[in-house]
Amino acid sequence: MTRKWIHRPHIEGLASRQAHADLPPGTVERELGKEGFFGPASHMIHPRPPTGWTSWEGPLRPRAFDAAQLGPGGASPWDAHELLFNAHVRLRQWTCTASMDHLARNSDGDELLFVHAGRAALFCDYGHLAIEAGDYVLLPRGTMWRIECAAPITLLLIEASNSSYQLPDKGLLGEHAIFDPAMFDIPALDAAFKAQAAEPGEWQVRIKRRNALSTVHYPYNPLDALGWHGTLHPVRVNVRDLRPLVSARYHLPPSAHTTFVANRFVVCTFAPRPFETDPGAIKVPFFHNNDDYDEVLFYHAGDFFSRDNIHAGMLTLHPCGFTHGPHPKALGKMLVQSKPATDEYAVMIDTRDALEIGAAASQVENPDYHLSWRQP
């Protein structure tokens, strides 16, 4: 049986006919929507920012964590710092300070590596990849892999627990918008791979299943494939290769920047783009209710124009259940920006189910982040 949302378009009182543009003078807009910008929505007009709270009681509040303060976290990706998690996604941070002396294998779900800093060689069942800051590396569930590095490399690990990563439906834009799938790099069975396969010695494979580890011992390196063919394999794409959607007359919602989708969560990427040029279009993220998704932002690089006192390596969590939007300084530039384009790279994870706070994140939390919307 097909279903339809229950709604009848209606205007009550003071309103703008076009969302996110031509607001009545001296007002701000708040969006109330379903299914993370994909369902029905209404747009409230307010005389003041709806984030003007003076105090906050109870566990529901915006959170900020300075993951840049976390140490390496161990010699294995299974020693990584756990930041946020639920039944469908696990978000961890790991700094690899020396080449791995074992192989890792995630049997709980696909693993998406985001390289926050550094560069390294990644070896896996399928071959060798050089990886560097800004790379997304998608490792299908069950892939054996390890990293060789000459200097520390910091990774954000995003596990699609018991599911797989896919690409979003790009609809009218066609398959080549945002990035062409031809931009995906695939591991190669090159000279570096063959050389590491030929090295004598014993190897361990540390397998994670149901968040418990098992170790398998080999008298040789099991990364020794002679060849392969098929459509299941790791891929790599760098954030510099993304071409974000833009609109001169309308501020696009975060869903327009979706990069990967999995079961009950999405991964989006904010990359530099021109600001809207229409005089009436708002030029900052619009205030909106968080009524269906928890929203996470990992700040990778640049000038994070909608937030104050945020630097690279930080993480924010805006849980489902409250209104949020730009900080006061950013709101002052709602209609006129001082520069022509944004200058930021950030990874956003929107989850349909509530996230739990990991022990590592709790250690580096800014307890006063919820007060950052106060007017100066």
> Which residues are tagged catalytic?
251
Which sign does the torsion angle of CA 13, 16, 17, 18 carry? negative
Q: Which residues contact 367 (CB under 8 A, 6 or more apart)?
A: none
| Binding-site residue ranges for homogentisate | 324
| Binding-site residue ranges | 288, 294, 324
| Binding-site residue ranges for Fe cation | 288, 294, 324
Tell me how far apart the 2 most distant CA atoms of the chain are, in Å.
77
Written in H, E and C, the secondary structure of the chain is CCCCCCCCCCCCCCCCCCCCECCCCCCEEEEEECCCCCCCEEEEEECCCCCCCCCCCCCCCCEEEEHHHCCCCCCCHHHCEEEEECCCEEEEEEEECCCCCCEEEECCEEEEEEEEECEEEEEECCEEEEEECCEEEEECCCCEEEEECCCCEEEEEEEEECCCCECCCCHHHCCCCECCHHHCECCECCHHHHHHHHCCCCEEEEEEECCEEEEEEECCCCCCCCCCCCCCCCEEEEHHHCECCCCCCCCCCHHHHEEEEECCEEEEEECCCECCCCCCECCCCCEEECCCCEEEEEEEEEECCCCCCCCCCEEEEECCCCEECCCHHHHCCCCCCCCCECEEEEEEEEECCCCEECHHHHHCECCCHHHCCCCC
- Strand 135-139 and strand 235-238: the pairing is antiparallel
Strands of 212-218's sheet in order across = 127-132, 119-124, 144-148, 103-106, 203-209, 212-218
